[in-house]
Amino acid sequence: MRVHIPVSCHTKAVWLLLRQDGAGKEREFVFSLEKTADAYEIWRCECSLEDTGLYFYRFRVQTENESFHLYRWGEHDTNMEEGGLWQLSCVTEEFSAPSWAEGAVMYQIFPDRFYKSGECDLKDKLTPYVLHQNWNESPRWMPDEKGEVWNNDFFGGNLRGIEEKLPYLQTLGVELIYLNPIFMAFSNHRYDTANYLRVDPLLGTEEDFKRLCDTAHGMGMRIILDGVFSHTGSRSVYFEDAANNPESPYKSWFSFKNYPTEYESWWGFKTLPCVKELDPAYLDFIVEGEDSVIAHWLRLGADGFRLDVADELPDEFILRLKRRLRELRPDALLLGEVWEDASNKIAYGQRRRYFIDGELDGVMNYPWRKAVLDFARGSDGGEGLRHALETLAEHYPASALHCTMTMLSSHDSARALTELAAPFEGSREAMAAHRLTEDGRALGIKRLRFAAGLQFFLPGMPSIYYGDEAGMEGCKDPFNRGTYPWGREVEDLQNHFKRLGNMRKNSPVLRHGNLAVLSCGNGKISLKRESKDGICRGDFDATAGTFRIQLETGEIITD
């Protein structure tokens, strides 16, 4: 570590004061004067830490006339005797994300709404359900007479449909496909798992999944699944048996308050009973057994998992899952749904250890998403984006930064096109009726092209939420989960994503390079990515909605 102190301070000594998170005592490390350069003295300190963990630090400075503590002030300044602390993560030596995933182009699919090929055997589909006859209809959203929303309308998108469209995904430069849940469930979103070891009948069969993985692998693409392990569905084979049989082997999975009708559920939704993740029987079933859930799907061809609501999973559960995952497949990927800065996240009163213990390879990058959208639509002049980029680059281990899921939309957010044209809030009825005007849509597309330029330039795994590249719009759930508009795509926008995806796929610097912010302000930001393979530069002007990217090869991409 080096600090630069003006020569005019007449510094005699400098100390690093370092405190591990949760520990009261600071440790002191002494700096030595390395050299003088221009008007500054450069002081240098080397220290080693025995324990992984999150650390916070400040400095103590002794001059000829005084001694004072130096704190962080704002983003870049320092201040004497008051202010914030700097953050340092000491991670396990075992922390290493799969190299194939770093910087990879990603595509997220909501399976029921992507593409249908052929017919599936629906005899075991949980009832009641409604199957749309028109692919272009809107998802149902209205509650029934009791005020309940069933989420049981389906369009029939299936695994064979995804396999059939793999050549299309290849034209986008896609290397990693993330599937929202495919396990048997009652609802169309399938976050209410009914059977962890079976594909939902509407999506196809286990053989369909295996063939999808085999075909994708042959085309240079990998597939990760959504792991929903904090709760099951109330229609699950596990909960139904536990609630109807006091001697059920599954009863220990659930927290019954008044058996069998009162139980702990996810955010109070009775259809989503919570599980006790560290219950030995549950842990064996999901993670550690020879034929556990994760072993089952990895053996069929899955390349990893994205963990739903990672904040609600115990650290020990995630760590044990990660270790088992790597035993089964050394290059398997594990991502987590985290909405904030994952390096220092506190959830339910506990500081999470996602990175310092090597639990997760990467997370969903919602702070990045907000910063990019704010900049692209002009509500930030560039300082907010710079702060978000530099903070994450400072806080995240390098491999985790390159494995963050950098998305402009997701199944839990409004479509980027709608957000960029004009964020819309209102009742579900108002959201259902909301459509962009012709001018609003044109503005949204222009801004989306610009935001995508940033997305494919910056560190992380640029993730396309199915249909964003085709010009899909929509407010938040369920209006962000419409069907892919096959034959009605905005071709110029689609071709723009194809060009950016293949640019990213073929640029080692954009996949792995370090990031530096060269300048920002007044709606403009200039960035540099650098690695042993060369330098790329990106200049982005949000006021004009244009960008210029110069690749390490000298090729220039503009919009």
Total residues belonging to the chain: 559
Q: Which residues of 191-220 are buried (b: 16+ CB within 10 A; e: fewer)?
A: bbbbbbebbbbbbbbeebbbbbbebbeeee
Residue 81 CB-density burial (10 A; 0-12 exposed, 13-18 middle, 19+ buried): exposed
Q: HSE of 284 in the Cβ direction (CA atoms, 13 Å)? A: 9
Residue 46 CB-density burial (10 A; 0-12 exposed, 13-18 middle, 19+ buried): exposed
* 478/308 Cα distance (integer angstroms): 18
* 157/51 Cα distance (integer angstroms): 49
Q: Are 180 and 411 in contact (CB under 8 A)?
A: yes
The three-class DSSP label of residue 323 is helix
The neighbouring-strand residues paired with 55 are 20, 88
Other beta carbons less than 10 A from residue 48's beta carbon? 6
Other beta carbons less than 10 A from residue 289's beta carbon? 15
CA distances (Å), 299 to each of 184, 253, 291, 538, in order?
18, 25, 10, 41
Residue 431 is classified by DSSP as H
Active-site positions read: 308, 337
